[in-house]
Amino acid sequence: MSTRSKSPPTTAADTPRRAADRIRDTAFDLFYREGIRAIGVEEIVNRAGVTKPSLYRAYESKDELIADYLRDYDERFCRSFEAPAAEHPGDPKGQLLAYLDRLAARASAEGYRGCGLTNAVIEYPDPAHPAHQVAVDSKHALRKRLGEMCRSMGARDADELADSLLLLIEGSYVSGQAFGEGGPARALGVAARKLIDAAL
């Protein structure tokens, strides 16, 4: 992460930190929870307890900050997606289901805000916008990764199974936001298992 500290001899690990770090963390939180277009740079710096020039010293534009937020989101997503690998070594089906089950729980709980990358694609439909590009790249990587997992679990039409699962996953992201607690994402686990088992 960003603990390249060479100078903070103090125990700065709680609140103070560098301005750029506070901006990044605050932007991450606000962009994710409230939406990117809904949040102005002014609000970010206010909540971060810094000032605008500090933001523009670290990022050359708001779009750059947005792109950085999305790259950060993608990184965290990848970690959380691959995390179950350790618990289920050599068991791609188990790994995938572990992620899916945790997703189902989060997505059918109150206050869920879906996937920041998916949301970004919708907020920025213009393919030329950096936010759109970063988010779409991430989605392509996910699709590919899903295909590999399905292939390595010996599915008949691995790509088709992967796409079906991707639809269920993306569906969970967005319907979690529309339905809140007890939303349709509760069906994610069983549906995925049915599709996987039918393809093995």
Partner DNA sequence: CAGAGTACGTACCGATCGGTAACATTGTCA
Partner DNA sequence: TGACAATGTTACCGATCGGTACGTACTCTG
Positions touching a second copy (CB under 8 A) are: 33-35, 37-38, 113-114, 118-119, 121-126, 135-136, 139-140, 143, 160-164, 166-175, 177-179, 183-188, 190-191, 194-195, 198
Cα separations (Å) of 80 from 75, 105, 161? 9, 14, 21
| Residues near 163 by beta carbon (within 8 Å), at least 6 away in sequence | 143
| Contact status: 54 vs DNA (CB under 7 A) | yes
Q: Residue 170 belongs to what H/E stretch?
A: helix 158-179
Q: Which one of the spans 15-23, 78-86, 102-110, 117-125 is the region binding DNA (CB under 7 A)?
A: 15-23
Q: Are 109 and 181 in contact (CB under 8 A)?
A: yes
Closest CA to 176 of 103, 124, 70: 103
Full DSSP string of 12-29: -SSS---HHHHHHHHHHH
Contact partner at residue 54 from a second copy, DNA, none, CB < 5 to 8 Å by partner kind: DNA
The burial class, CB within 10 Å (0-12 / 13-18 / 19+), for 127 is exposed
**Both structure tokens of 16:** 């103070």
**Looking at beta carbons only, is 99 or 124 nearer to DNA?**
124
Contact partner at residue 200 from a second copy, DNA, none, CB < 5 to 8 Å by partner kind: none
Closest CA to 100 of 45, 43, 34, 146: 146
Contact partner at residue 43 from DNA, a second copy, none, CB < 5 to 8 Å by partner kind: DNA
Min dist. Cβ of residue 195 to a second copy (A): 6
Contact partner at residue 198 from DNA, a second copy, none, CB < 5 to 8 Å by partner kind: a second copy
Identified binder of DNA from the candidate list 56, 85, 98, 195, rule CB under 7 A: 56
**Looking at beta carbons only, is 35 or 171 nearer to DNA?**
35
User: Contact positions toward DNA, by CB under 7 A?
Assistant: 5-9, 18-20, 39-43, 49-58, 60-63
